[in-house]
Amino acid sequence: MEKKEFKPYVPADKITPELTVTSVILGLLLAVVFGAANAYLGLKMGMTVSASIPAAVISMGVIRVLMRKDSVLESNIVQTIGSAGESLAAGAIFTLPVLFLWADEGIIEKPSLITLTIISLCGGLLGVFFMVPLRNALIVQEHGVLPYPEGTACAEVLLAGENGGTSAKSVFAGMGLAALIKFIVSGLKVIPETLAMPIKALKTEFSLQPFPALVGVGYICGPKIASYMLAGGVLGFFVLIPAIIIFGGETILYPGTVSISELYANGGAGAIWSNYIRYIGAGAVAAGGIMSLIKSMPLIVKTFAQAVKGMGGKKGNASLRTEKDLNMKAIIIGVVALTLIIWLVPQVPVTLVGAAIIVVFGFFFATVSSRMVGLVGSSNNPVSGMAIATLLVATLVLKATGGKNAESMMGAIAIGSIICIVAAMAGDTSQDLKTGYILGATPKKQQIGEIIGAVIAALTMGGILILFNNSYGYGTEALSAPQATLMKMIVEGVMDGNLPWGLVFIGVFIAIVIEVLGIPVLPVAIGLYLPLELSTTIMVGGILRWFVDKKKKNKDANADASGGVLFCSGLIAGEGLMGIIIAVLILCKVDTAIDLSSKLDTGIVGGLVALIVMVLLVVKFAMSGKGNKDNKEKKEVEG
C-alpha cells in the first residue's frame, strides 16, 4: 500500500514569518533562562527536564496574545532556540563540574571561562551539525514510524494557539511561587532546607526538602518514575545504612578514616551515605547506564546503518521551502573547523587522538540519540550511558598513550563533556525538527535557530558554572552535582585505581538484581545515589500527578499541555532562576544581610506549610487546566 503524502499545517508554498528579530530575541532570552534553570536543577539532583513545552507556551503567549501576531512558525523558532539552551545545559552540567572538583583538590588549576565556553560551544554546534544530514532519514522518511513524543506534543501546543495566553499564565504563576519559596528558604533562611526526623531504632533518618522544583519534577515524571526513585532512596537509607552501622561497629572501612560507629555518632546517617552509599549508588547508576546502552545496541546498529544509508538516498523536492536544509558543504567545513579547534586550541586539553574519538563517537551517538528520542522521548534517552561509555574508552586510550597525569584526566573529561553535549543537542534538534515538520517550518531556518541557541547557551554556560561554584560549591549539600561526581569517580578509578571497588560492585549487582526483576534500573539507581530528601519530595509530586490523573480520568502520559504540567514547569524554572539570584547575592556578600534565621526560624512547621501551599496550588492549576481538552481537538493533519 502506497504511503500517504504528508501535508504540514502551513503549506510549503505559503511564506510566513519565521526567523524574525522578535523570535530570535525572545528565543535567546528563553535559552538563557531555561538553560540556567536546568543547570541548577541538574547540579542539585542529577535530573533535567525538557523546556520545549513551556518555551512554546510562553512564545505563544507573547507573540500571539501580547503582540497579537498570527504566526505559528515564528513561535516555533522561539521554542527551537529556547530549548537549545536547556539541552546544552543538560550535557554540560553532567561533566564540566568535575574540573572544579579537581581544582578544589589542588590537582589542576580552576578552569577558565574560555575553556568552559569552547568545550560547550564545540559540543553544541557539533550536535546540531551531525543532526542536519540525518533529518531526511529520521524525520521525513520515518514519519509515522518514529512518534517523537515531545516534538509532536510541542506542535500540538503551538497549534492550540488560541489558548496560549491562558497556558502561559500557568507557567508564570509557577515561576512566581517557586521564586518566592526558594527565596524564603535559601535567601531569608526562615525555613530549613532539609526537614529531617531521626529514626533511632533503625539508626537512620527520614527527610525531605520543601523545594518547588522537586515537586515539579515528580509531577512531570509521574508516579511510576517517582516511586522507583523513592525505592532507591529507601534501599539506601532504610536497608544499607542500618546494615552498615549495625554490622560495621568499630570497623574502619575505606574510604572512611574513622570507625563506622564514630562516623555515625558525629555525622548521623548522612555521613554514612557520603562515605559509603554514594559509591554503591555510583556503581548502580553506571551499570544501569551501560545496561541501557547494551539493550539498545541492536536498535542502535540498525538506526546507524539506516541513517547513513538514508543520507545518500532520495532527498525529496529540494526546491520546496519545507525541504531546504543547511548546505552540506558548510556543515562538513564546520565539523572540520570545530575538530581543529578542539585539537589545536591550548585551553582545550584534547589531543589529536581525542579529537578523532570525538568525531567518531559524536556522530555515532548523535544518530543514536536522535533515533532514541524519536522512539521513547527525551526523558528515556540513555545519554548518561553514552557519556559513561565514551568516558571509559577515552580514559583507557589516554592512559595508554599519555600515562596517569592531570592533563590526561582533563582530556578525558573534555572529550566526555563534548560527547555528552553532542548527544543532548542532537536529541533536542531532532525533536524540534519534528515539530517544524508537522507545522510546515523551513528546516534551514530551524537549524540556524538551533545554532543561535547553542551559541548563546555556550557563551553563558561557562559564567553560570563559575558563578555556582563560587557561590555554592560543587559536591556540597547545596549543589551535590551527582552526575559530575560519578564521572569524576570513573576517570579517577581508571587512571589511579583508587575507587572502593567493593562498594561500587555492590551497586553493580544491585542494578543487575533490579534488571532481573524487570524494574527500570536507572530511576532506582539514581534514587540510591541521591540523598533521601530529594526522592521523598519528588514522590510528593508523583502522588499529586496520580491523584490528578485519577480525578480527571486521564491516562495519557503525554498530556503535556495540562495546567499541572505547565505550572510545574514554572516551578522548576522559577526555583532555578532564584537560585541564580541567590548565588549572585552570596558572591556579593549580601546574603548575610538578608539572613533572618537567627531572628525567625519556623523549623519543620514552616517547611510543611510551604509544602502544603505548593500541593494545593499544583492541584488547583492541574484541575482547572484546559490544555488536554483543547489539544485533543487539534490533531496532526495528514493527506
pLDDT along the chain (639 residues), means of 10: 69 86 90 84 71 72 70 87 86 90 90 94 94 82 74 72 60 88 91 90 92 86 89 95 92 85 90 87 79 69 62 57 86 93 90 88 82 64 69 81 78 91 90 90 93 94 92 85 83 78 90 92 84 91 91 56 75 78 79 84 89 93 61 36
For Cα atoms 398, 400, 401, give the angle at the middle one, nearest 5 degrees: 65
State the cell numbers at 197.
526526623
Residue 361, pLDDT score: 85
CB 435 within 8 A of CB 155: yes
CB 83 within 8 A of CB 428: yes
State the cell numbers at 436.
517544524
The letter for the amino acid at 571 is L
**Positive or negative CA dihedral for 34, 36, 41, 46?**
positive
Residue 634, pLDDT score: 37
| DSSP summary character for residue 205 | E
State the cell numbers at 631.
489539544
Q: What is the dihedral of CA 238, 222, 468, 495, to 10 degrees?
A: 60
Rounded to 5 degrees, φ, ψ at 196 are -120, 140
State the cell numbers at 40.
541548577
Nearest residue to 126 via CA among 88, 85, 79: 88
State the cell numbers at 37.
534553570
* Spatial separation of the C-alpha atoms in residues 455 and 124, rounded to whole Å: 7
**Positive or negative CA dihedral for 202, 274, 222, 138?**
negative
Bridge partners of 207, per DSSP, are: 196
Look up cell 558554572; give the residue: 465
For Cα atoms 240, 242, 245, give the angle at the middle one, nearest 5 degrees: 105
* Spatial separation of the C-alpha atoms in residues 203 and 244, rounded to whole Å: 10
Burial group, residue 91, by CB count within 10 angstroms (0-12, 13-18, 19+): buried
Residue 404, pLDDT score: 64
Q: What is the dihedral of CA 561, 566, 568, 569, to 10 degrees?
A: 110
Residue 568 has, within 13 A of its CA and on its CB side, a CA count of: 30
CB 34 within 8 A of CB 465: no
CB 537 within 8 A of CB 209: yes
* Spatial separation of the C-alpha atoms in residues 491 and 257, rounded to whole Å: 23
Q: Where are the alpha helices (DSSP H) in 146-296?
A: 149-159, 164-182, 212-221, 223-235, 241-248, 260-272, 278-295
Rounded to 5 degrees, φ, ψ at 218 are -60, -40
Neighbours of 289 (CB within 10 A): 23
Q: Where are the alpha helices (DSSP H) in 21-109?
A: 21-45, 52-60, 72-93, 97-104
Residue 635, pLDDT score: 37
Distances (CA, A) of 577 to 176, 465, 574: 10, 14, 5
3-state SS, residue 413: helix
Look up cell 524487570; give the residue: 518
Q: What b/e readout covers 609-621, taking b as 16+ CB neighbours within 10 angstroms?
A: ebbeebbebbbeb
**Positive or negative CA dihedral for 425, 431, 437, 440?**
negative
- Helical (H) or strand (E) element with 546: helix 532-552
The letter for the amino acid at 502 is G
State the cell numbers at 268.
548521623
Residue 235, pLDDT score: 96
* Spatial separation of the C-alpha atoms in residues 98 and 340, rounded to whole Å: 24
> Residues near 617 by Cβ (< 8 Å), separated by ≥ 6?
173, 177, 567
Residue 89, pLDDT score: 87
First to last CA, the chain: 15
Cis peptide before 255 (omega within 30 of 0): yes
The letter for the amino acid at 364 is F
State the cell numbers at 21.
528579530
* Spatial separation of the C-alpha atoms in residues 50 and 621, rounded to whole Å: 20
Residue 47, pLDDT score: 64
CB 565 within 8 A of CB 167: no
Residue 94, pLDDT score: 84
Residue 379, pLDDT score: 55
Q: What is the dihedral of CA 103, 108, 114, 115, to 10 degrees?
A: -100
The letter for the amino acid at 382 is P
CB 211 within 8 A of CB 220: no
Bridge partners of 204, per DSSP, are: 199
State the cell numbers at 508.
553493580
Look up cell 552570596; give the residue: 586
Bridge partners of 233, per DSSP, are: none
* Spatial separation of the C-alpha atoms in residues 235 and 525, rounded to whole Å: 10
State the cell numbers at 394.
577515552
